[in-house]
Amino acid sequence: MASTAKGNILTDQHRRRQVALAITADSQMRRVWDDTLDVNDLDHTQPIWKKAMLDLLGQWWKVSADTAAQYLPRFRKAEIGDGSVKVGVPRFNRSQAGKQLEWGGVANILWHVAMGQTQEAAYLAARELFIGMFHEAVLTGGRLTLQQWAAKDARASGWRRVSDGHPCAFCAMLVSRGPIYTSERTALYRQSDGDKFHPHCGCTVEVVYGDWIPSDKEKQWIDDYYRAAESLPKGTARTYDRILPIMRRTGDYRDSPSARASGAMKKDPHSKNQGVRTEKP
């Protein structure tokens, strides 16, 4: 958690704003999908769909980035007493975004059709998956803004992942690992962890000033992870793909059986989704 109570409040407010703007973007994306992609004329409507989606994503990506840039000086002042900084906003990479999202349209519809679904069912299944992809892509604007700032701020030791309070087991594992340090001299460098934000993920990024002190919830997730690891048979490799199923089964996570039974689970590519393709065809 942040080192100050004010910092914790600001980060939570920022996370909620980011999720709210992404939900609004999701709603607009759903309308654009229906307005531009014709299941009976996929070849001709795909280019129209792609341009419209990238236009919409670029707009909301910038809103997410600007929101993070407004939050950061206030958070920095709360943490170290100095908020007199100007935070730059990264450039939206339209070409890269296009490559990441393109397979979520026509290609994914055709994959579902090949699996035996009707065109209508395939259309709806692909759209549902794409909503999660679009949601994550929008939030990348804010996350990247904070990650890049952490790398350039001499007062920052790095950045860390902050959950929404009831994460899936995968996100809880990453939160429990603590900060992603920006210097190999400071700690083990795990930049690859930063790319592991999945569709519908509600996590945000927080710049770390000083030492990281886990909250009570974060301590619980750390304990759950090591307890699950220690329960594996002797000689079994303690890899996360073996540990996470135990965490889900024995803990209270968004993708735990108890959460699924109560209808609280959100789709997560690291849990067992049924009937929804989560890999690139």
Residue pair 205/161 in contact (Cβ under 8 Å)? The answer is yes
Note the pTM of the prediction, 2 decimals. 0.81
Q: Which residues of the chain have pLDDT under 70?
A: 181-195, 259-281
Token output for 25: 């973007």
The pLDDT score that the predictor gives to residue 211 is: 86
Burial status of residue 191 (CB atoms within 10 A of its CB: 0-12, 13-18, 19 or more): exposed
Please tell me the distance from the alpha carbon of residue 50 to that of residue 103, in angstroms, as a whole number.
10
The pLDDT score that the predictor gives to residue 261 is: 62
Tens digits of per-residue pLDDT, 75-115?
999 999 999 999 999 999 999 999 888 888 889 999 999 99
* Residue (of 266, 265, 163) closest to 205 by Cα position: 163
The pLDDT score that the predictor gives to residue 203 is: 87
| Distance (Å) of CA 12 to CA 16, 206, 255 | 6, 10, 22
Burial status of residue 38 (CB atoms within 10 A of its CB: 0-12, 13-18, 19 or more): middle
